[in-house]
Structure 1
Amino acid sequence: MKRIALKIDVDSYRGTLKGVPALVDLLQRHGATASFFFSFGPDRGGRESRRLSPARYHDRLTRLYGLLLPAPQVGVRCVDSMRQARDSGCEVAVHAWDRVRWEARSPTADNAWIEAEMAQACRRFTDIFGEQPYAWAAPGWRTNRHALRLTQRLGLCYASDCRGTSPFIPVIDGEIVLCPQLPTTLPTIDELLAAGTMSVEQAVEQLIEEPSRVAGDHVFTLRAELEGMCFLSAFERLLIAWTTRGHELLTLRELIGSRNIVTLPRHEVAFTGIPGRPGQRMVQGNAFLPPE
């Protein structure tokens, strides 16, 4: 039996309004839970859709946001959906203020810009949920040194900003950041489809087997705009298969809560390409000063 934490990135107005309630209903029907990471500022998805395939931005209306239509303020217009996720027993946390802008600018942004973006998102989270955020997950696994340092300074209990194999304490440029990272360990459905060599059904079949092939706990990242909408039935098949095999589906908070943070290994982080994603993403690197 494996433990699989479900990390749901919520990137857009449509994803929050439509995808989140659909996923909440699906999780409740199958006795599962998950962590929802919300974007709170303007949805500028239309600007991004000019560069991406229709498989990622299938909704015609979404492609107009930030172009022909005003960018809707997600953290104002979708509060009910956000609170529905919280009230269902799922974890809620922070993804970004402006998700499109974060992915485009964060790797090279200066400290002031990073701090302003993270502060806006955290303030809106507190306005909506009445408490300080517990966790942060950088959009697209794109981030920089100052953002990592802020996860510690903001008092977050964990972050999920990278790809990797297991929970760890991050080290960047020799600096230890005392905020644990829970990396995404499994490929995403859209990454498996990116090469154009397999169907959605084949991608699901590969994901069903993946946890058993790799030791340890896992984090699976999905998106409200995909698995909550056009891939909803595919995600349901995946949920059923994992639960049938006895895997425990839980939140990231539950996953890190079961670990002794003091004993987590320290790993350097690196920035590199990953299959199915353009640009540089943060990944878990080598152990930092491992025992000789």
Structure 2
Amino acid sequence: MSEERILGLKVDVDTRRGMEEGVPALLSALSSAGVPATFFLSFGPDNSGKAITQLVRNPRFLFKMIRTNAPGLYGVKTALYGTFLKAPMIAKAFPGLCREIEARGHEVELHAWDHRAWQDTLPRRGERWIREWLDQGLSAYDGCLGHPPRAFGAPAWLLTEPAVAVLADSPWEYLSCTRAPSPFLLKGTGKVELPSDLPCLEEVGGPKGAGKILSALSAGGIHVLPVHAEVEGGIWSGAFADILRGARELGYRVAPLSEVVAIFKKRNLPERGFRAALLPGRAFHCAV
């Protein structure tokens, strides 16, 4: 049993609804719990409606949408953005809220420009497209916050070799792009990869799966919990509160990811590449 008990909260914001409604709700919940988090924001257009093509191509995705009550989590409008409704900007449309996150003592990093485009088309994209996509995200980030981000978290935890090559050329302090069980140096980049090693609520059965996450925390150690603004900042907020309460009872200290990665930078981490794996409860492969 590990004497270290540190928990990092990696909050991904994937949609307009997640930014507009989920982030304020999470800020309130985090304030009530007295803990910090690191928010990874999508800045560009919300093209969530284009995911409809995946419902036909991937039965696992359709099953996941049904199992997790996707309309309740994301809303009907989100399912139409980018198809029947114009794709609205996500974090770029809320510069004041971006700054409020930081003002409240949390961290803001870059998650995406167009989240759906990365998630659906990255495997066939080359370095030029990836670099242009990142540049748009970096420009929007700077326009909202007035400084560059320190970290990047890949949408859907999806990586390719061209993506790694582009990330290697950028001055990130660390990456958080995989679901690996422990941190490592991402080969070819020289950068620490701080993975989300715990499961998402959506992967463990929703609110009733909070106990499974707490069970994974029971042995101690340093962990990163993936949180989604649309989920834990929405109808599953009660389960998120249960996790925070349970982690505190287990003796965990919640720390921002910059502090977590600083701990690992002092350690002799293995250097390796990534591989793709289909994790339990997920519809698509992700990097580990």
1:200 maps to which of 203, 207, 212: 207
Matching of residue 235 in structure 1 with residue 251 in structure 2? no
User: CA–CA distance in 2 between the matches of 1:189 and 1:218?
Assistant: 15
Does residue 141 of structure 2 align to residue 125 of structure 1?
yes
Is the contact between residue 161 and residue 183 of structure 1 (CA under 8 Å) also seen in structure 2?
A: yes
Which residue of structure 2 aligns with residue 4 of structure 1? Answer: 7
Pairing 1:138-287 to 2, within 5 Å after superposition: 138-171=154-187, 176-193=188-205, 200-201=207-208, 203-213=209-219, 216-261=221-266, 263-283=268-288
The number of residue pairs the alignment matches comes to 272
Contact 1:16–1:224, Cα closer than 8 Å, also in 2: yes
Q: Which amino acid aligns with 1:211?
A: L
Q: Percent identity?
A: 30
By how many angstroms is 1:150 displaced?
2.6
Q: 1:228 to 1:204 in 2, by over 3 A?
A: same
Instruction: Give the aligned partner of residue 196 of structure 1.
Output: none
Q: Name the aligned partner's letter for residue 244 of structure 2.
A: L
Instruction: Say which SS state the counterpart of residue 180 (structure 1) adopts.
Output: strand
Contact 2:95-2:145 at 8 Å conserved across structures = no
CA distance in 1, matches of 2:264, 2:272: 16
- The range that moved more, 66-75 or 126-135, is 66-75
Of the candidates 26, 49, 56, which is equivalent to residue 70 of structure 2? 56
Bigger share in helix: 2
Structure 1 unmatched runs, 5+: 194-198, 284-292
Instruction: Give secondary structure in 1 for the equivalent of 2:221.
Output: coil
Paired with 2:169 and 2:266, the residues of 1 have a C-alpha distance of 17
CA contact (8 A) 1:13 1:78 kept: no
User: 3-state SS of the aligned residue for 1:148?
Assistant: helix
State the TM-score, normalizing by the size of structure 2.
Answer: 0.89
User: Is the 1:2–1:212 Cα contact (8 Å) retained in structure 2?
Assistant: no
Taking structure 1 as reference, are residues 231 and 115 closer, same or farther at Cα in structure 2, changes over 3 Å only? same
1:112-139 Cα shifts (integer Å, max 9, x gaps)? 1111111111111111111111000001
CA contact (8 A) 2:186 2:274 kept: yes
Structure 1 position 85 matched with structure 2 position 101 = yes
2:30 to 22, 27, 31: 27
Letter in 2 for 1:210: A
Residue 191 of structure 2 aligns to a residue in which SS?
Answer: coil
User: Could you tell me which amino acid in structure 1 is paired with residue 38 of structure 2?
Assistant: S
Q: Which runs of 5+ in 2 are unaligned?
A: 56-61
How big is the alpha-carbon RMSD for the aligned residues of Structure 1 and Structure 2? 1.7
Q: Which has the higher contact order (CA 8 A, sep 6+)?
A: 2
TM-score (norm 1): 0.88
**1:19–1:229 CA contact under 8 A, matched in 2:** yes
